[in-house]
Every structure is written in C-alpha cells, then in structure tokens.
Amino acid sequence: MKPRRNAYCLYLAVAGVVLNVATAWSMGEPAPCALKPGMYDNRVRLEHEYARVWERNGHTIGPNTKKLRELRRELDRGYLAFMESVATLQDQNDKASVTSCCATAKNDPVASLFCPLLSYLAANRTNHAAFVASLPRSGRRLEAFWRLDEILGVDGELPALPSVSTHGEGLIDRFVDELYHLVAGGDRSAADKYLALYAAADGEAAGKMRDQLERLFEEHSDIVLRNWSTFRRYRVRLASISEGLSPKRSEEIRQKLLQHCNRSDRACKEILEVLR
C-alpha cells in the first residue's frame, strides 16, 4: 500500500472514532463516560503517522499533516471533556457518577491515571497506597503519563480542573508534587515510583524533580538513608543531582547527611559518592 493511501486509511479509521464520540455526546450519552475503546491507541497512531508525514514532506505542514493534527486534537478534546466532567462531578460530591464514569474508562491509559489522582485528592490524601500503586513504571501508561499536559492543553492554556488543579497548572506537576510529598514523608513505595518516573523524565519535568531531590537529600537525608535500598537502584540517574551544585553547596548537603551516618557505612559511602 502506498504511503498516501496508508495515511488516508488511518485518517478514515480515526475519523470514525472521533465521529462516534461526537455522535454519542450529541445523542445525549453522558459526556463523562464517553471515552471509547481504542482512543489512546488511535492517538498514538496519529502521532506516529504525523511524524512520518512531517518527515516525508521535509518538515513542512501540508493538508495531510493538518488533518492528522486536528484528528489528534479532537481525541484530546474528548479526554479533556472526560477529565473536566469527572472532576466537576467530584467537586459536586456526586460519588456514584464518578465511580461509574471511572469504572467505564478503567482500561484507558489516560483515565486510569486521572481517576486515581482525583480519588486520592477527594479522600484528603488518605488512600495513598492506591494512588501510588496506580502510577506507571513502564509501557503505554508511562507514555500516557508524559502526554497528560499536552492533552490537557490541547487548546492552548492549561485549564483549571475542579478539585484537581488550578489554571495554568499541569497534571504532571500535580502528580509529581503529590508523590514527592509522600517520598519526603518516608513512603518507600512512593520513593520507588518517584524515582522510576525521574529515570524516564526529561526537560522541565526532569529539572523540577532534580530540584526536589536536591531538597530531599538536604532536608530529609535521614529518609534517604533509611530507604537507600530503594534509592540505590537509581544511583546512575541520581548522580544528576550533583551536576548543578557548586562544591560548597554539595559539601553542605554531605555534612547534613553525616549527621545521620558514619562514612564507613556502605549506604552512607554510596550516598556521599552520589553527591560528590
């Protein structure tokens, strides 16, 4: 099959999904539960096809790339409508509708991230084990995690989500901040998930997490020491913490660590090596 025909067939297939979602809303189906099977897979295919056509066209935007981009945006608007609706229902304390909507979409990689965050915040952060367990380590859900802000900001600015985030605040930042709070409180499982995310992070997210880890090593060195068996697995990535530190700053953090351990201890020695 020729490349143009491949793109056209993909366009028709995904357009059908988008049309089905839009039709469901127009016919009165509750918008919160309107996520259709295959939405995320179609979004990934559109991304890949867009990149391929963009490359083939010499990095210029033509009719095909515009169509592919708009189809992806329509899928993202479907996700945004889901998140806004479910967050509003939670804000109205309509727990039955929230549970129903999230159960309907439980196999979707995006919804399966958003719903546990919403539940965690609504429960005043008491069900932290379920929240931590819901976070990804690899695979499609990890890919979906790093796409959350692109989806949320499909039409430009990041909108506020009731009970979840303020205007301009990304979902990735909210996840990272909530997870860091648990790490700083000594939660070993949260530390493992946080470090797994940090190992896969780049750009602004990586910078934010590096700054948080610097603060963790300085202000909660006892927790780092106590959970070093978890942190140890990410030593190579953790070495990035010291990259932006001045020798003076690095030594200050090292001295705070030495208040809790002896240089001859294995864990202490390994942490000091990370901070050198």
pLDDT band for position 26 (cuts 50, 70, 90): very low
Q: What is the pLDDT of residue 60?
A: 73
Residues in the chain: 276
Burial, 27: exposed, middle or buried (Cβ in 10 Å; 0-12, 13-18, 19+)? exposed
User: pLDDT higher for 25 or 35?
Assistant: 35
Q: What is the pLDDT of residue 103?
A: 94
pLDDT band for position 33 (cuts 50, 70, 90): low
User: pLDDT higher for 28 or 196?
Assistant: 196
Query: pLDDT digit string (tens) for 139-185?
Result: 999 999 999 999 999 999 999 999 898 888 899 999 999 999 999 99
Query: pLDDT digit string (tens) for 190-205?
Result: 999 999 999 999 999 9
Query: pLDDT digit string (tens) for 199-256?
Result: 999 999 999 999 999 999 999 999 999 999 999 999 999 999 988 788 899 999 999 9
- How far is the C-alpha of 42 from the C-alpha of 27, rounded, in Å? 23
Q: What is the pLDDT of residue 36?
A: 86
Q: What is the pLDDT of residue 5?
A: 52
> Average pLDDT of 11-35?
48
> Average pLDDT of 31-48?
84
Q: 196-232: string of b/e by CB count within 10 Å (b at 16+)?
A: bbbebbeeebbebbbebbbebbbebbebbbebbebbe
Taking 60 as the threshold, does the pLDDT of residue 7 lie above it? no
